[in-house]
């Protein structure tokens, strides 16, 4: 697995000056170092996660109730394998973890709100020049959302660096 920090630093837990600078500057967090260590362990120990050898760690985002980890994996890795990886990481970290594939914004939105279905994504331009994206989800599917609406909005805004709102209708 390709990770942005040195493998030796992540495995040992003692960070070299370069890795320490990345963590201290806020580019990566101590929690992400822990996630990278678990991913490296799973790559070696568990044969069902062999796809991690060709994967690249992108970033993890944390809210009150869950952690969202973004990986670059090949398109032939099934979504069920990523879901199993999320459950395994969640068991190790004692929190809810969701692993998604890095792709275009629409596909990432679908992965974050799954198993709820996205009816559509509208973009609204405000008078001050900002763009706000509104994700429409049916009232029936709202109960299937993996977290609270405000947490999902925060996660999507952090991942995609734009303003996202979820509208249940």
The pLDDT value recorded for residue 134 is: 92
Q: What is the pLDDT of residue 147?
A: 86
The answer to whether the 1-102 and 103-169 domains have the same CATH topology is: yes
| pLDDT of res. 137 | 92
Q: How many residues does the chain have?
A: 169
Whether the Cβ atoms of residue 155 and residue 112 lie closer than 8 Å to each other: yes
Q: How, if at all, do strands 56-62 and 163-168 pair?
A: unpaired
Mean pLDDT in runs of 10 for the chain (169 residues)? 88 88 89 89 84 88 88 86 89 89 89 89 88 90 88 89 89
The pLDDT value given to residue 169: 86
Domain boundaries, the chain: 1-102, 103-169
Question: Residue 136: what pLDDT?
Answer: 93
pLDDT for the residue numbered 9: 87
Q: CA torsion angle for 142, 147, 153, 156 (degrees, to 10)?
A: -110
Question: What is the rounded CA–CA span in Å between residue 59 and residue 66?
Answer: 14
CATH match of 103-169 with 3.30.300.20: yes
Instruction: List the CATH code of the domain at 1-102.
Output: 3.30.300
For residue 93, the model assigns a pLDDT of 87
What's the token pair of residue 11? Answer: 């495995």
């Amino acid at each position: 697995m390709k990770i942005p920090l040195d493998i030796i630093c992540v495995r040992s837990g003692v960070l070299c000056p370069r890795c320490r600078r990345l963590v201290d500057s806020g580019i990566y967090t101590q929690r992400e170092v822990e996630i990278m260590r678990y991913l490296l362990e799973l790559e070696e120990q568990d044969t069902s996660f062999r796809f991690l050898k060709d994967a690249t760690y992108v970033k993890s985002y944390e809210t009150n109730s869950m952690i969202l980890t973004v990986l670059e994996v090949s398109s032939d890795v099934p979504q069920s394998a990523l879901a199993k990886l999320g459950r395994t990481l969640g068991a190790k970290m004692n929190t809810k973890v969701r692993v998604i594939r890095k792709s275009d914004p629409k596909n990432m939105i679908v992965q974050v709100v799954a198993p709820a279905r996205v009816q559509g994504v509208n973009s609204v331009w405000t008078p001050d020049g900002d763009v706000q994206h509104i994700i429409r989800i049916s009232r029936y599917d709202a109960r299937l959302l993996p977290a609270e609406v405000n947490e999902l909005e925060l996660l999507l805004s952090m991942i995609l660096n734009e303003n996202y709102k979820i509208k249940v209708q």
